[in-house]
Every structure is written in structure tokens, then in C-alpha cells.
Amino acid sequence: MEQLTFETMIAVFEEIFGRVLFWAMVAAAVVVTVAYLYVLIRDRSMSMRKFLLAQLSMPFGAVAAVVFVMAMTHSSLSDMGGAIDVIVLLGIAAMGAAGSAILVYTAQSLFRGPKEP
């Protein structure tokens, strides 16, 4: 592997997670993103109360993402060998935290409806 291409990354993720699970996660991410954009356009502003509750979910999302990836790769924290492993682990945690915040905010907005004027 001399060059890192988009196709190579997709192949690596399909190998790690399995083809069905990987594309199911991609589809779920697209659905949540579209729902989030719908909520932002519908409400025309962000509710700080909902945003605070979404932020409170971020540590749980970070831990869940790390545990999920560790389970899928059959790894543990003792297998970490260098700085790049720590950087990747922090990236996974950051993406899990952001994803859970977006998911929680979107779910609150869809189930509670738009705020009253």
C-alpha cells in the first residue's frame, strides 16, 4: 500500500467491521445527518437547553465508540504501542462524542418538536 486512497480506506473499514455493518453504520450516519439538518432548518435556531443535554451525552458516546472499536478489532488498551495509537484512539473518542451529541440533540428536537415562540 503505497498510497492512501478513498477506496483503500473503505476496504480497510469493510475488513474491520464487515461489509454489512460498515454500510449500515454509513447509512445510519447519513440518516442522522439529514435529520439534524432538517431540525436546524425547521427550528431556525439551536435550543441551548437541548444542546446542554446533548453535551452531557458526549462522554458516554466517546467511551462507547472506543469500546465498540476495541471489540470489533479484538484489541485492548494494553495493545497500544505508540503515539499514533493514542492519536487514533483520541480521534475515535472525539468522533463518538460528537456523534452522540448530534444524535441526542436531533432525537430531542424530533420528539419534543420545535420550541414555542
**pLDDT, averaged in runs of 10, over the chain (117 residues):** 84 89 93 93 86 94 94 84 88 95 93 69
pLDDT at 2: 74
pLDDT at residue 83 in the model: 87
- Rounded to an integer, what distance in angstroms lies between the CA atom of residue 89 and that of residue 69? 9
Distance CA 69, CA 91 (A): 12
CB 51 within 8 A of CB 105: yes
Domain ranges of the chain: 6-112
32 φψ region: left (φ > 0), alpha (ψ -120 to 50), beta (else): alpha
Q: Quote the CA–CA distance of 115 and 117 in Å, as a whole number.
A: 6
| 44 φψ region: left (φ > 0), alpha (ψ -120 to 50), beta (else) | left
pTM: 0.82
Q: What is the pLDDT of residue 115?
A: 63
At residue 116, the pLDDT reads: 57
Q: What 8-state DSSP symbol labels residue 10?
A: H
